[in-house]
Each structure stands twice: as C-alpha cells, then as structure tokens.
Amino acid sequence: MNGQGERGFPAGPEESGERVIGRLWERNYDSGTSALLESLPFREDWDCLDLGTGTGSMARWMARRARRGSVLAVDVDTSLVDEDVPHNLTVKQMDLRAEDFVEGSFDLILARAVFSQLPDPDASLARAARWLAPGGWLLVEDFCFMPSEHSTTETGKAVIDAYVRTFEAHGVDAYWGRRAPALMARAGLVEMGKQVRPLGPGQGETENDLMRARLAYQGAPLVDNGLVSAQQLAEFVASLDDPGAQDIATLQISVWARRPAA
C-alpha cells in the first residue's frame, strides 16, 4: 500500500512530483530501516515480503542481502518501481484488502506506513504475522501524530491539523503506530524490539526537505478545501529551518519481533 505515507493526499499534477517525494522518502527513512534489518539475524537464503514497497528501494536492499533467497514487493500502485530489478526480486500490484498469502510463507516481512492506511489495520497486522515462517521476523514502521493544538507555532497548529484531517478523511488512522507493539504481542510474536524517532519541523535536514516537497506538490488541496490558507502554508514552509519553530509533530514508531520457532 504505497509505503510513502502519501495515501491521504491526491497525487500531484505531474508524476515527477511523486518521484521527487519518493526519492526524499528514501533519503529520510531508508538508512534507519536498513539499520534495523541489519540488526536481525538476516540470512542470505531468506524469502522476504515488502508490503507497500513504494519506490522499491528497500525491496532492492533486501534482494541484495537475500541473494540466495527471494523478495516479493507488493503495492496497490507499483508505477514508481523501476522495471530493471534484481533477478530475485518480484514486483506485484496487489490490494492487501482483497488478497492473502499462505501461512508460513516468509522469513522476513517489512511493512512501512502500510497498516494505518488499511480499513482494519489491527486485523491486517495479525494476518501478516501468520504469513511468517516459524522463526521469521516482522518489522513494522508506522506513525503516531501528536495533537495539532500542542504545536509550537500558530501556523504549525493549522498545517498539522489540516494534514491529520486530510489523512483521516481518506481512511488513514493517524495514531495507529502506537498500537503496533501491543498488536504484535497479541499475535504471538516474541523477542520484540522498539524504536521511536521524532519527526516534524526542524527534526533534521532530510525531514525538512521531505516536508517542503510534500507541500510543494500536495499542499494545494489543503488550501482549496479551506483547511489552511495559502499564507499559513507559505509561513510554515518558511519556518522549517527556524530553530525557534521546531516541533515534534509526529513519531515514527518501529517495532520488530519474530514468530516463535516450531
């Protein structure tokens, strides 16, 4: 389900906008995700599943690591994935709301910004846990937005509120990430690890660049729908590098655990 976390916004008028956002998403998140995967007992013969592959960057990373195994990358829209992929990587257009996998199919499943975008995210995570082979690992990375009224600036309050309201209007649970640890435990997964990363204005150069691109290509609907004014949007973007305007607008919550060995 497009792991770029953009489901709540209409696509930009040009495909190049989506690709720009995709590249900035990779730059902002891939190093952290790959570091967590490196911390697992990753084997070269693993069969891996990348849910919501987006641009396919992490699917390619897993294909290089699982060079004697396989990687299946799925997304409801695979148009951002380059056609030239490694021999052990398969890309499939797939709607997780309607399709399923055989229990015990994968040694590693990665799901970034996926479950929060599904109609029943709790049940979807439980299904994914069943797709793990005994001893297999699930890494979930998703988000939990902070209340917009607690933002450090007035423009932040307006823009963050507009973001959350737009996500929710399109069926995205903007707070689901905090549920992931409990849900993985309820699914019977063990040896759990957790990591939380603060995100938002002033939380790093790559984070600021990603927000600028999102608002450049996807900010117009927020204004057109009366959720925020053009002036507020411009002021928010202009304040991204102001230390006095920095804010923790959301948390990226990463959780990993394994299915017990048979």
Q: Could you tell me the sign of the dihedral formed by the alpha carbons of 129, 130, 132, 133, in that order?
A: positive
Q: Identify the H or E element spanning 144.
A: strand 132-145
Query: Starting from the edge strand earliest in sequence, which strands make up the sheet with 70-75, in order?
Result: 89-93, 70-75, 47-51, 106-112, 132-145, 250-258, 190-199
Contacts of 161 (CB under 8 A, 6+ apart): 148, 149, 227, 228
Residue 77 CB coordination number (10 Å): 17
In the chain, the domains with their CATH numbers are: 15-147+173-200+252-258 (3.40.50.150)
**Residue whose token pair is 């549920």:** 179
> Contact, 73 vs 53, CB < 8 A?
yes
Please identify which residue in the block is written with the tokens 């996926």. 114
Which pLDDT tens digits describe the chain residue by residue (262 residues)? 344 444 444 444 445 788 899 999 999 999 999 999 999 999 999 999 999 999 999 999 999 999 999 999 999 999 999 888 899 999 999 998 888 899 999 999 999 999 999 999 999 999 999 999 999 999 999 999 999 999 999 999 999 999 899 989 999 999 999 999 999 999 999 999 999 999 999 999 999 999 999 999 889 999 999 999 999 999 999 999 999 999 999 999 999 999 999 7
Q: Quote the Cα angle for 171-174-177, to 5°.
A: 120
CA-to-CA distance for 230 and 223, rounded, in angstroms? 6
pTM of the predicted structure, to 2 decimals: 0.92
Q: 181-213 burial, b if ≥16 CB within 10 A, otherwise e? A: bebbeebebeeeeeeebbbbbbbeeebbbbbbb
Among 107, 132, 115, 259, which Cα is nearest to 188's?
Answer: 259
Structure tokens at 64: 């290089």
The burial of 101, by beta-carbon neighbours within 10 Å (0-12 exposed, 13-18 middle, 19 or more buried), is given as middle
